[in-house]
């Protein structure tokens, strides 16, 4: 019997399983325009309520993964590594994990995204390095990976076109927050990108997609399960995003902080999360224990090999490494404003989403697709959750080239903070690792 979209929607509404043929029919029809947005929206909403079985999620992941180009990394065998973060504020771990993993012999041919909304994106951060090329022809992308072990470019136009189209529809039909839809969206891109070893950084908290630990754990488990079914080594690190990661938020500010970690300053939240993420990949491709992987990661950070690798990589992509060797050479924003504490106490909590949006107001991100970014704009956090604050202390510093935004951004930032008179307990930085 011929498949009809109406029946697919009706069956999903009633909680029945879609067959692989039906999933392929839906994706193909949506891509070629024979199935309209309104029917796909209706199906997406039915999925939000009825969920999907493992079989359906796997079918959707594979169908989307092969809806466009995929990257062939088979020449690198088991050494290929990829990383994905579900999105956060101040999250510059890819700039650290990439060079660490390739300094240890891994092959990281990675495609990353841009920031949207309150979260940042690796490609925008890299573009703050003068002349860094975020696009490379496919053969150069592979050649550079072969030669130096790492290339990092923006996602090519035709990787997972089905996800691109579906994601845009989900965004405007309130159907983003469905675990099987998120799993298939993220994992289809990772499958198409071709790496054998994948570490997922699942953020949880006020600045993350997943606001609760239980939701983050479910997402992590589902992604790991689908990755394994698709014959990839996958692990998911659930890490705190109630507080922004590290001290700097904003593009060149985040590159500066990543360089600082690669120069050995690892005893901080950013250093700790980056070491665990990198070690997960090293553990997978070297087939060693996590303890040994952590030792190897620490070794290449502390002996400078990872920072050398970062320079080699940035230079290979045309970037000016002088700004890495001396980060004061980055263009500085024209205006700086310090926010001052008016009382004694402790920072009880921060709302990372509000802080991310404040940094967008200063020019560090886009309010909408296509907006221009001010690479030097952002926020340096001097006090974070759990810190003691005395009247007159600097809470944070704003950097921007648009002084008109300083006042509204200050008001917004202050709404993100809660103070207390007693020392608050902090969220655990790494809450779980799902393998």
Instruction: Supply the residues annotated as catalytic.
Output: 84, 163, 170, 185, 189
In 3-state terms, what secondary structure has residue 26?
helix
Contact 187, 146 (CB under 8 A): no
> In the numeric block, which tokens belong to residue 23?
């999933």
CB closer to ligand URA out of 40 and 186:
186
CB closer to ligand URA out of 12 and 84:
84
Rounded to whole angstroms, the Cα distance separating 160 from 172 reads 19
> Which residue stretch of 41-49, 178-186, 245-253, 311-319 sits at the interface with ligand URA (rule: CB under 6 A)?
178-186
Contacts of residue 194, defined as CB under 8 A and 6 or more positions apart, other chains included, come to: 70, 71, 72, 73, 74, 80, 109
- Cβ-count burial of 356 within 10 angstroms (0-12 exposed, 13-18 middle, 19+ buried)? buried
Contacts of residue 427, defined as CB under 8 A and 6 or more positions apart, other chains included, come to: 205, 240, 242, 243, 385
CB closer to ligand URA out of 181 and 417:
181
Rounded to whole angstroms, the Cα distance separating 233 from 110 reads 16
**Is residue 185 close enough to count as binding ligand URA by CB under 6 A?**
yes
Give residues 36-95 in contact with ligand URA (rule: CB under 6 A).
86
> Which residue stretch of 22-30, 117-125, 181-189, 310-318 sits at the interface with ligand URA (rule: CB under 6 A)?
181-189
Q: Find the shortest distance in angstroms from Cβ 176 to ligand URA.
A: 6
> Which residue stretch of 176-184, 254-262, 283-291, 386-394 sits at the interface with ligand URA (rule: CB under 6 A)?
176-184
CB closer to ligand URA out of 223 and 323:
223
> Which residue stretch of 28-36, 180-188, 222-230, 341-349 sits at the interface with ligand URA (rule: CB under 6 A)?
180-188
> In the numeric block, which tokens belong to residue 151?
């290339």
Tell me the torsion sign for CA atoms 170, 173, 174, 180. negative
Q: How many H helices and E strands in the chain?
A: 17, 13
CB closer to ligand URA out of 42 and 185:
185
Q: Find the shortest distance in angstroms from Cβ 185 to ligand URA.
A: 3
Residue window 126-145: x/- pattern of binding to ligand URA, with contact defined by CB under 6 A:
--------------------
Q: Find the shortest distance in angstroms from Cβ 357 to ligand URA.
A: 18
Contact 351, 416 (CB under 8 A): yes
Rounded to whole angstroms, the Cα distance separating 51 from 179 reads 8
Q: Find the shortest distance in angstroms from Cβ 88 to ligand URA.
A: 12
**Is residue 188 close enough to count as binding ligand URA by CB under 6 A?**
no
Q: Find the shortest distance in angstroms from Cβ 286 to ligand URA.
A: 28
Q: Find the shortest distance in angstroms from Cβ 68 to ligand URA.
A: 15
CB closer to ligand URA out of 148 and 176:
176
Rounded to whole angstroms, the Cα distance separating 382 from 31 reads 48
**Is residue 182 close enough to count as binding ligand URA by CB under 6 A?**
yes
Beta-bridge partners for 292: none
Rounded to whole angstroms, the Cα distance separating 286 from 100 reads 14
Position with the least CB separation from ligand URA: 185
Q: Using CB under 6 A, count the residues that bind ligand URA.
A: 7
CB closer to ligand URA out of 37 and 387:
37
Contacts of residue 209, defined as CB under 8 A and 6 or more positions apart, other chains included, come to: 86, 87, 177, 182, 203
Q: Find the shortest distance in angstroms from Cβ 166 to ligand URA.
A: 9
Please state the separation of Cα 324 from the chain's center in Å: 22
Q: Find the shortest distance in angstroms from Cβ 44 to ligand URA.
A: 11
CB closer to ligand URA out of 168 and 414:
168
**Is residue 160 close enough to count as binding ligand URA by CB under 6 A?**
no
Give residues 270-329 in contact with ligand URA (rule: CB under 6 A).
none
Of the candidates 177, 175, 190, the one whose C-alpha atom is nearest the C-alpha of residue 223 is 190
Cα Rg of the chain (Å, integer): 22
- 3-state DSSP percent of the chain in helix, strand and coil, to 5: 50, 15, 35
**Is residue 186 close enough to count as binding ligand URA by CB under 6 A?**
yes
Residues making contact with ligand URA (CB under 6 A)? 86, 167, 176, 181-182, 185-186
């Amino acid at each position: 019997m011929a498949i009809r979209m109406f029946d697919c929607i009706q069956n999903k509404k009633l909680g029945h399983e879609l067959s692989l043929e039906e999933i392929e029919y839906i994706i193909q029809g949506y891509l070629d325009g024979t199935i309209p947005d309104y029917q796909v929206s209706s199906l997406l909403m039915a999925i939000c309520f009825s969920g999907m079985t493992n079989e359906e999620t796997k079918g959707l992941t594979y169908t989307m993964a092969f809806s466009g180009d995929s990257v062939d990394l088979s020449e690198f065998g088991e050494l290929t590594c990829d990383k994905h973060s579900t999105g956060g504020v101040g999250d510059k771990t890819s700039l650290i994990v990439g060079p660490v993993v390739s300094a240890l012999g891994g092959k990281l041919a990675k495609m990353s995204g841009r920031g949207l909304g309150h979260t940042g994106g690796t490609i925008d951060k890299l573009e703050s390095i003068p002349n860094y090329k975020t696009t490379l022809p496919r053969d150069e992308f592979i050649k550079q990976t072969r030669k130096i072990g790492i290339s990092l470019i923006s996602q090519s136009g035709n990787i997972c076109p089905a996800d691109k189209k579906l994601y845009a529809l989900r965004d405007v039909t309130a159907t983003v927050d469905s675990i099987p839809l998120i799993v298939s969206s993220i994992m289809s891109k990772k499958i198409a990108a071709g790496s054998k070893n994948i570490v997922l950084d699942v953020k949880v908290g006020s600045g993350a997609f997943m606001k609760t630990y239980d939701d983050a754990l479910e997402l992590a488990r589902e992604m790991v399960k689908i990755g394994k079914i698709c014959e990839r080594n996958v692990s998911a690190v659930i890490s705190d995003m109630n507080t922004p990661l590290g001290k700097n938020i904003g593009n060149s500010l985040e590159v500066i902080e990543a360089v600082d970690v690669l120069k050995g300053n690892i005893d901080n939240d950013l250093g700790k999360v980056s070491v665990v993420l990198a070690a997960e990949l090293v553990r997978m491709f070297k087939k060693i224990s996590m303890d040994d992987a952590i030792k190897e990661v620490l070794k290449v950070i502390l002996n400078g090999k990872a920072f050398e690798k970062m320079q080699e990589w940035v230079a290979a992509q045309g970037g000016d490494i002088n700004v890495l060797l001396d980060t004061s050479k980055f263009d500085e924003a024209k205006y700086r404003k310090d926010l001052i504490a008016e009382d004694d106490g402790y920072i009880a909590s921060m709302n990372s989403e509000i802080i991310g949006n404040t940094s967008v107001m200063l020019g560090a991100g886009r309010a909408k697709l296509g907006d221009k970014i001010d690479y030097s704009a952002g926020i340096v956090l001097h006090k974070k959750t759990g810190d003691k604050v005395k009247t007159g202390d600097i809470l944070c510093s704003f950097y921007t080239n648009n002084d008109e935004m300083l006042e509204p951004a200050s008001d917004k930032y202050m709404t993100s903070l809660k103070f207390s008179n007693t020392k608050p307990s902090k969220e655990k930085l790494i809450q779980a690792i799902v393998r």
